[in-house]
Amino acid sequence: MARTFIPTYTDKRTGKRRKSPNCHVAFDDHMGTTRRVVAFPVKAGKARSEGLATRLDRLAACRATGDPWPIELRQFIDNMKPELLAKLVGWGIIDAPAGHRQKPMAYHLIGYYHHLKAKGDELRHVRQEVRKIGHAVRQCNMHYLNDLTALAMDKYLASRRAGNLRMRKKGRIARMKQLSASTSNKHLTAIGGFCNWLVKLGRLSRSPLCDLEPLKVIEEETRWPLSVAEMQELMDTSAGGPTLDDGTRAGPIMRWGMTGNERALLYRLAVEIGYRASELGSLTRASFDLESDTPTVRLLAGSSKGRRRSSIPLRPETVSMLRNHLASKAPAARAFHMPTSTHTAEMIRADLIDAKIAVSDALGRKRDFHALRHTCGTWLGNAGVHPKVIQTIMRHSTVRLTMDRYVHADRDQVTAALGQLPTLDDPQREAASATGTDSACATLAQKREQTHPNEDKGGQSDRKPSTRLSTDVLKKKPGKTEQWGRLDSNQRRHKPADLQSAPFGHFGTPPPRTSTQEAIVSWRARHDVTPRRDSKQIDCMTDTRTNRYTANRRPCIAQRLPI
């Protein structure tokens, strides 16, 4: 049973006994050995030290019985101080994986770096992921895993999006690059993957970033595909150089170690097979099968973004150009001497400028090397290829990704589709507008002519007799034997039984007014009711001055009569 106490010690200067400023906890571990640890200061209260003693006793009991730790003990271990954690690991109460929490963050980052490399990720991707995590660790002053919290990471990402953070770069203080919403989500994904790796190894019981949600990003088109004429001009300019004023070519230009013909063939192949820049850079002479009946290019699973092997057939014109280009290369040699991704974008941008092709538009879309992949998907969609076939060529996981992001609607096709809508212009109306005869009077006259074609111009009408009731019928008073119909809901007026078939809007005359006393007598006669002489309801009459029921009387039968 754990206990808390305040130890005493002898002051060496005065020789007096003094109490320790901190509480201590004594408990028995899983082997029965008594252990002592320093708890909280006395000023913080004895309750906190007693809580620590209870948790340490439960940890020792779980270690002795072999039961798994409950969630509250896991959270207690996650928030434990490194000094106390080191003691518990040394005593064998806590396993070694949990003891890694006392290690600095650099120790965990190095392990995560080797984990990504062993998993088979590209070296450039591994360095980018670890660099993102390292920036967050340095800016948030995270020395141990206990410092890795959701609040600190949320503040860091918010400051990066606002552009308020600074860092030392090449001996000087520079402002860190402002992040967009999508880039901020990528940083959050990188740090979240690091936390998930720590949970799998048992170094964390729960990811501290599991409650953080990525920002909502408005999906916009970022790439601008090329037209057929622009693509032809780009290949001609890359192979022969920019066009001079006299119409001749200036000659091929060497850019980033690639000749003009090699760049033109690279652009052509990228548009026809839809490969990414990194995938094209991984192709070797052995990747091309140019001697079979169906020439193809094969991409290994390790070089593909989706980690899947693919094989795409080649066009006959491109096969002949590839044979000349790869004739002097060894089977293991690179098919194209491509630069890095940043320099690849600069290379195609320079060729686009020499070809006098717009690099970006007013909508913010740009043309880089990845725009050639968008061009491939757009051309396939404009040719009427089935979406599933386009997905197979583009090697996407879903058809929605292919059609929503990589197949762009051509402006000429949109204009042609809108031209197929029915016209809203009437030729006769335009002619009347041109002559000035489309006034309101002319319109009303045309409508009247269409409605009453038999009406002559002299004002005499040949139409059928109107169904409107005459004045004599309306003034006719109902007889004693006439049955009055239902109450009309629109005008709240009665219609005689013989006028129930009258058109809407024409009603009969209301029944004659009767006094209240006559109505009471008539109602009693119909319902065989004998009046009581002592009742005051009979005297309830309408006031002749106000024509309303008296307010100081009880509701009488007359108020309940169906009249």
Beta bridge mates, 27: 35
At residue 335's C-alpha, the angle toward residues 330 and 341, to 5°, is 140
Residue 398 sits in the same domain as residue 369: yes
Within a domain: 473: no
471-481 per-residue burial string, b: 16 or more CB within 10 A, e: under 16: eeeeebebeee
Residue 91 sits in the same domain as residue 160: no
Give the domain-ending residue among 365, 381, 414. 414
DSSP per-residue string spanning 490-523 = TT--EEEGGGTTSPTT---PPPPP--HHHHHHHH
pLDDT reported for residue 449? 61
Residue 307 sits in the same domain as residue 390: yes
In a 13 Å sphere around the CA of 464, the CA atoms on its Cβ side amount to 3
Q: How many domains does the chain have?
A: 4
The tokens describing 252, both together, are: 């091929």
Residue 40 sits in the same domain as residue 158: no
Q: Sign (positive/negative) of CA torsion 87, 89, 91, 94? A: positive
Residue 186 sits in the same domain as residue 129: yes
Burial of residue 261, with CB atoms counted within 10 A of its CB: 0-12 exposed, 13-18 middle, 19 or more buried: middle
Q: Are 376 and 394 in contact (CB under 8 A)?
A: yes
Q: How far apart are CA 509 and CA 417, in angstroms?
A: 63
Q: Where are the beta strands (DSSP E) in 31-148?
A: 34-41
Query: pLDDT in tens for each of the 563 residues of the chain?
Result: 788 988 888 888 888 888 888 999 999 888 889 999 988 888 888 888 889 999 999 888 888 888 887 888 877 887 788 788 878 888 888 876 666 766 788 989 999 999 999 888 888 889 999 999 999 998 888 888 888 889 999 999 999 898 888 777 666 777 788 888 888 999 999 999 999 998 888 788 788 888 888 888 776 668 889 999 999 999 999 998 888 878 788 888 888 889 999 999 999 999 999 999 989 999 999 999 998 889 999 998 888 888 889 999 999 999 999 999 999 899 899 999 998 877 898 999 999 999 999 998 888 888 999 999 999 999 999 898 999 999 999 999 899 989 988 998 877 788 888 888 888 776 666 666 666 555 545 555 555 566 555 555 544 444 444 444 444 444 444 444 444 444 444 444 444 554 444 444 444 555 555 567 777 777 777 776 666 554 444 444 444 444 444 444 444 444 443 43
Within a domain: 492: no
Residue 184 sits in the same domain as residue 80: no
Q: What backbone phi and psi angles, to 5 degrees, belong to 449? A: -65, -35
The tokens describing 207, both together, are: 């990811």
Give the domain-ending residue among 392, 414, 436. 414
Residue 339, domain extent: 228-414
Residue 70 sits in the same domain as residue 155: no
Q: Are 265 and 321 in contact (CB under 8 A)?
A: yes
Within a domain: 393: yes
**Gyration radius of the chain over CA positions:** 46
Residue 320 sits in the same domain as residue 193: no
Q: How far apart are CA 294 and CA 283, in angstroms?
A: 18
Give the domain-ending residue among 352, 387, 414. 414
Within a domain: 20: yes
pLDDT reported for residue 385? 92
Burial of residue 406, with CB atoms counted within 10 A of its CB: 0-12 exposed, 13-18 middle, 19 or more buried: buried
Within a domain: 430: no
Closest by CA position to 238, among listed 225, 256, 228, 251: 251
pLDDT reported for residue 514? 57
Q: Helix, strand, coil: what percent of the chain each, to 5?
A: 45, 10, 45
Within a domain: 509: no
In which residue are the tokens 């004045």 written? 471
At residue 110's C-alpha, the angle toward residues 106 and 113, to 5°, is 135
Q: Any alpha helices (H) in 259-302, and if so which ranges?
A: 260-273, 277-281
pLDDT reported for residue 188? 93
pLDDT reported for residue 533? 52
Give the CATH number for residue 394: 1.10.443.10
Within a domain: 80: yes
Closest by CA position to 232, among listed 267, 262, 259: 267
Within a domain: 445: no
Residue 88 sits in the same domain as residue 153: no
Residue 75 sits in the same domain as residue 152: no
Which residues make Cβ contacts (< 8 Å) with residue 57, sequence separation at least 6?
Answer: 1, 2, 27, 28
Rounded alpha-carbon distances, angstroms, from residue 21 to 39, 51, 454, 458, 459: 10, 18, 115, 119, 117
Residue 342 sits in the same domain as residue 247: yes
Residue 240 sits in the same domain as residue 286: yes
